[in-house]
């Protein structure tokens, strides 16, 4: 089964709801190794995105993800705004003109989004950031695609969760948490956590069809 524009829209709506539900938790995570604003930042951005997309009819991923990107970039301050904004912008550019793609094509577009994040953030896998949740999810999607789309999405969620938890023992090398040096060890990265939620929401939207 393909990944459709309807699923993408549902995933964005689910992401808003999950961020709303988890905003205090995300802010708690950010208070340990950052400035306690990740949940608030993301919540503000996602709410504005829902306002923006409501009542609009999107024929292709390009239009939807462009609106998501522009809104998150303009509303969400700090690092997460430009980073998530770039992710959604590149995702939309790669899928422009299409309203239905295979799981492999969606994974490739997420790969473009991730490359955008990594070049803007000068970050790599293992730096204790959102990259550590998104990168394994993309790899799992690609690796498990031959088993079918549902299996691939489930594997992606498990991989993102593993990546998120894998940030706990890491030493932060990018972003605000890197200022803590060794003291960043032992805490889960807030951005990797919100990125895990994003992958879960994509999977849930796919599963609901």
Considering only 140, 190, 198, 203, the residue that binds ligand ADP (CB under 6 A) is: 190
Q: What's the min distance (Å) between Cβ of 187 and Mg ion?
A: 13
Q: Does 45 bind ligand ADP (CB under 6 A)?
A: no
Considering only 130, 138, 155, 202, the residue that binds ligand ADP (CB under 6 A) is: 130
47 contact choice in ligand ADP, Mg ion, none (CB below 5 to 8 Å, kind-dependent): none
Q: Does 64 bind ligand ADP (CB under 6 A)?
A: no
Q: What's the min distance (Å) between Cβ of 12 and ligand ADP?
A: 18
39 contact choice in ligand ADP, Mg ion, none (CB below 5 to 8 Å, kind-dependent): none
| Interface residues toward Mg ion, by CB under 5 A | 30, 34-35, 37-38
Classify 128 in phi/psi space as left (phi over 0), alpha (psi -120 to 50) or beta.
left
Interacting positions 85-114 with ligand ADP (CB under 6 A): none
Q: Does 117 bind ligand ADP (CB under 6 A)?
A: yes
132 and 126 in contact (C-beta within 8 Å)? yes
Q: Does 165 bind ligand ADP (CB under 6 A)?
A: no
In three-state secondary structure terms, 4 is: strand
Among candidate residues 50, 59, 38, 48, the one with its CA nearest the CA of residue 13:
50
| Segment interacting with ligand ADP, rule: CB under 6 A, options 57-65, 76-84, 142-150, 201-209 | 76-84
DSSP secondary structure string for all residues of 56-114: ---SSHHHHHHHHHHHHHHH--TTHHHHHHHHHHHHHHHTTT-SEE-HHHHHHHHHHHH
123 contact choice in Mg ion, ligand ADP, none (CB below 5 to 8 Å, kind-dependent): ligand ADP
Among candidate residues 171, 183, 103, 95, the one with its CA nearest the CA of residue 137:
103
């Amino acid at each position: 089964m393909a990944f459709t524009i309807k699923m993408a829209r549902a995933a964005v709506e689910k992401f808003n709801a999950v961020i709303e539900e988890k905003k205090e938790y995300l802010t708690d995570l950010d208070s340990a190794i950052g400035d306690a604003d990740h949940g608030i930042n993301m919540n503000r951005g996602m709410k504005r995105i829902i306002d923006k997309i409501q009542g609009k009819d999107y024929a292709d991923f390009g239009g939807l993800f462009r609106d998501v990107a522009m809104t998150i970039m303009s509303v969400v301050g700090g690092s997460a705004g430009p980073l998530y904004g770039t992710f959604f912008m590149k995702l939309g550019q790669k899928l422009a003109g299409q309203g239905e793609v295979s799981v492999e094509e969606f994974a490739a577009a997420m790969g473009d989004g991730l490359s955008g994040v990594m070049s803007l953030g000068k970050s790599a896998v293992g730096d204790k950031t959102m990259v550590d949740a998104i990168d394994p999810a993309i790899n799992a999607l690609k690796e498990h695609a031959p088993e079918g789309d549902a299996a691939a999405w489930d594997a992606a969620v498990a991989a993102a969760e593993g990546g998120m938890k894998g940030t706990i023992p890491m030493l932060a090398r990018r972003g605000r948490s890197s200022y803590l040096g060794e003291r960043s060890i032992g805490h889960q990265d807030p951005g990797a956590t919100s990125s895990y939620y994003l992958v879960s929401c994509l999977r849930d939207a796919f599963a609901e069809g």
